[in-house]
Amino acid sequence: MHSSSIKDILKRNQLSVTDSRKKILELFQANDGALAHNDIERQTGEKFDRVTIYRTLQTFVEKGIIHTIPTADNSILYALCKDECSEGHHHDNHIHFVCDNCNKTYCMDDVVTPEITLPQGFKPAVIDVIATGLCADCTSNNNLLQ
């Protein structure tokens, strides 16, 4: 997307248009997978400090612009939300896929998380489903090598 779309997203969410917000949102739009804080820090160069990046990510999560994805090593990845997410209301009930070969994480927007029924007295706050294996790129690359 071009910069006017980024400005529209920020203004629609009542956020001021800052260089850090524009740059970080551009990174998400340029990547088809999820990003870690370190990825964002590396790709923005030394232009923004860790705290600015962290605060920007937290603001984007709170506004429903991006969502978090837990990982096996207890770190967090971030990915763009679908259009129907809004402030305080994430509707990211899709499965996340982590490639065992390239370690890229994908949002499987067309694969809906199955309904989970918990025992009486349990109230879930978040339900995450993560699938692992080989992504389409790694599968096709492995087929070429065989």
pLDDT for the residue 18 = 92
| Cα–Cα distance measured from residue 75 to residue 92, given in angstroms and rounded to the nearest whole number | 19
pLDDT for the residue 85 = 61
CATH number of the domain residue 21 falls in: 1.10.10.10
The boundaries of the domain holding residue 122 are: 3-145
pLDDT for the residue 14 = 92
Of residues 88 and 6, more confidence is placed in 6
* Predicted confidence (pLDDT) per residue in 31-72, tens digit: 877 898 988 998 887 788 889 999 999 999 888 898 888 777
pLDDT for the residue 23 = 93
DSSP state of 144: H
Cα pseudo-dihedral 34, 39, 43, 44, rounded to 10 = 100
Alpha-helix residue ranges (DSSP H) falling in the chain: 3-12, 19-30, 37-44, 50-63, 136-145
Q: CB of 24 within 8 A of CB of 57?
A: yes
pLDDT for the residue 134 = 92
The domain tally of the chain equals 1
pLDDT for the residue 68 = 86
